[in-house]
């Protein structure tokens, strides 16, 4: 049965792989046998080193998704069969004060870059007749409104919708497109929340699992969605949240 979950022979691009969720995903995919390109606007050397030290295959690619078209020339002829769009940013501000600059920055990285990276990846696979898988990182704020993050909430609602649209179009080509909606995970993006004792207490009281999630909690889900075991799973937005949305 191990073959159902093996990623041997696959080549993956994981964005935002220098830290947090992206690093955990890259390491998990490599652990299942994929050759992983770790992409980020900052160096992913530590992620690559961790993978190679564990006996896996990895390289790095420096990309800044402030330019939403930054990855569009990276797929032709490169043999990628897996894509994980994890790179993202957040800007916290009351809705009445949220600036156009912050709105544009968040939408460009979190939504526009996701679409055009997916487009380039899908175009290459369809042209070559290759099957593959896309995993987008959505959010609990793909389902909920949140507080003080209007651009982020809009972008993550968009990621959920885009995931379903691409799944519909690309299923006939053997390309699955799914999303993971992480709960409250201990990463840089949630540092402000964890540093606020009252907000952190409120969050933990609602999570049935009783703890903040770990980046590794997302890695295994991504590996499953990339694997042959998930060939009939497409268009799903899978919440990995310790039970947050169930409460």
Which neighbouring-strand residues pair with 85?
A: 136
State how far the Cα of 115 lies from the Cα of 127, in Å rounded to an integer.
18
Tokens of 188: 């840089």
**Active-site residue, from 80, 152, 184, 232:** 152
* CA distances from residue 204 to 47, 85, 138, 148, 241 in whole angstroms, order as listed: 29, 27, 21, 19, 11
152 is catalytic: yes
State how far the Cα of 200 lies from the Cα of 195, in Å rounded to an integer.
7
List CB contacts of 226: < 8 A, sequence separation 6 or more.
Answer: 7, 10, 12, 29, 34, 82, 84, 133, 135
Q: Give the neighbor-by-neighbor strand order of the sheet with 57-62.
A: 57-62, 35-40, 11-15, 82-85, 132-137, 175-182, 237-240
Residue in the structure block whose two tokens are 């999630």 = 213
Q: How many CB atoms are located within 10 Å of the residue 25 CB?
A: 32
State CA 103 to chain mean position distance.
Answer: 20
Catalytic residues: 152
């Amino acid at each position: 049965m191990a073959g159902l979950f093996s990623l041997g022979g696959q080549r993956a691009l994981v964005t935002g792989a220098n830290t947090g969720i992206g690093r955990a995903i890259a390491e998990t995919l490599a652990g299942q046998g994929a050759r992983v390109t770790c992409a980020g606007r900052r160096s992913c050397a530590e992620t690559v080193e961790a993978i190679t030290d564990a006996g896996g295959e990895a390289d790095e690619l420096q990309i800044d998704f402030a330019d939403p078209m930054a990855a569009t020339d990276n797929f032709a002829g490169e043999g990628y069969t897996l894509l994980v769009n994890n790179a993202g940013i957040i800007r916290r501000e009351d809705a009445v004060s949220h600036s156009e600059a912050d709105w544009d920055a968040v939408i460009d990285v979190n939504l526009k870059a996701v679409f055009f990276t997916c487009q380039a990846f899908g175009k290459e696979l369809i042209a070559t007749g290759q099957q593959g898988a896309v995993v987008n990182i959505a959010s609990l704020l793909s389902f909920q409104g949140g507080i003080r993050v209007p651009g982020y909430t809009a972008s993550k609602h968009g990621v959920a919708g885009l995931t379903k649209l691409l799944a519909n179009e690309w299923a006939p080509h053997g390309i699955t497109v799914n999303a993971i909606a992480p709960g409250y995970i201990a990463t840089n993006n949630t540092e402000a929340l964890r540093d606020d004792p009252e907000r952190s207490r409120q969050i933990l009281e609602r999570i049935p699992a009783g703890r903040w999630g770990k980046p590794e909690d997302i890695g295994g889900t991504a590996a499953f969605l990339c694997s042959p075991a998930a060939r009939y799973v497409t268009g799903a937005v899978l919440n990995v949240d310790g039970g947050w949305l169930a409460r």
